[in-house]
Amino acid sequence: MKTQRIRIHFSKTKSMQYTGHLDLRRAWVRTFRRANLALSYSQGYTPRPQLNMAAPLPLGFLSTGEIGDFWLEDHYPMNTIQKSLQDALPPGLRINHLKEVSDIHGDKLPNLVRSALYHVSFFSVVSDLDQHLQDILHQEQIKRERKGKSYDLRPLIYSLEVIPPGGEAKQLVEMHLSHLPGATGRPDEVIRELGVDPNHTQICRKKIILET
């Protein structure tokens, strides 16, 4: 039985950079099991643990802004949950904060996602980067093809901005992109539009913006 719903804001760090979406779910299920917190399971022949990620993170992306909902079988005090999970996390996951969601059966996370904020680190200098970004923003339409389907990238871009880089990055761009059903902007597509191979960049999702 779903007794308690908690929402965890977390980071996916380098150790788990190449852990896919399904494997990430399993990593969380194992974390709860180690923490001795009983996740609620679905009914039926093959019961599944009840958890929900706001938006799948593509393989290779890092993130400091992931969100997941987890339903527990029993009710625990929030500080117990926080402490137990903290001790049980694998190297690639970090909890930023967590809270209880009072509406246990309310809207699922994926339906609440509106947009996402990304930071893209470029490892080699793109000349006139700012100008390139402005050019993209000034276009009315950007026809691109993905998995054999043609689509318009432009309306999926909310903003593109050069910001001061850190670490090994030569340049850093903040991208605010749409994340709606059937209308999700991918940062790697924007990077390709800049004429850069996304493999020469590091993409980090900073934030998932939910409907308020």
Give the nearer residue to another protein in terms of CB position, either 18 or 99.
18
Give the nearer residue to another protein in terms of CB position, either 14 or 143.
14
Tell which positions 60-79 bind another protein, by CB under 8 A: 60
* Euclidean distance between CA atoms 41 and 115, whole angstroms: 30
Q: Which residues, including other chains, have CB under 8 Å from residue 44's CB and lie 6 or more apart?
A: none
Tokens of 194: 């800049």
End-to-end CA distance of the chain: 27
Give the nearer residue to another protein in terms of CB position, either 161 or 197.
197
Nearest distance from C-beta of residue 28 to another protein, angstroms? 9
Instruction: Kindly indicate which of the ranges 86-94, 96-104, 106-114, 128-136 contains the residues binding another protein, using the contact rule CB under 8 A.
Output: 86-94
Tokens of 92: 């690639």
Tell which positions 193-212 bind another protein, by CB under 8 A: 198-199
Query: Taking CB under 8 A as the rule, which mask of x and - marks residues 92-131 in contact with another protein?
Result: x---------------------------------------
Buried b or exposed e, range 178-190, using 16+ CB within 10 angstroms: bbeeeebbbbbbb
What phi and psi values does residue 139 have, to the nearest 5 degrees?
Answer: -75, 150
Give the nearer residue to another protein in terms of CB position, either 11 or 115.
11
Task: Write out the DSSP string of 47-63.
Answer: --B-EEESSPPPTT-EE
Q: In the set 3, 15, 42, 80, which binds another protein (CB under 8 A)? A: 15
Is there a contact between 99 and 6 (Cβ–Cβ < 8 Å)?
Answer: yes
Residues that bind another protein (CB under 8 A): 14-20, 22-23, 26-27, 29-34, 36, 38, 41, 47, 49, 59-60, 88, 90-92, 198-199
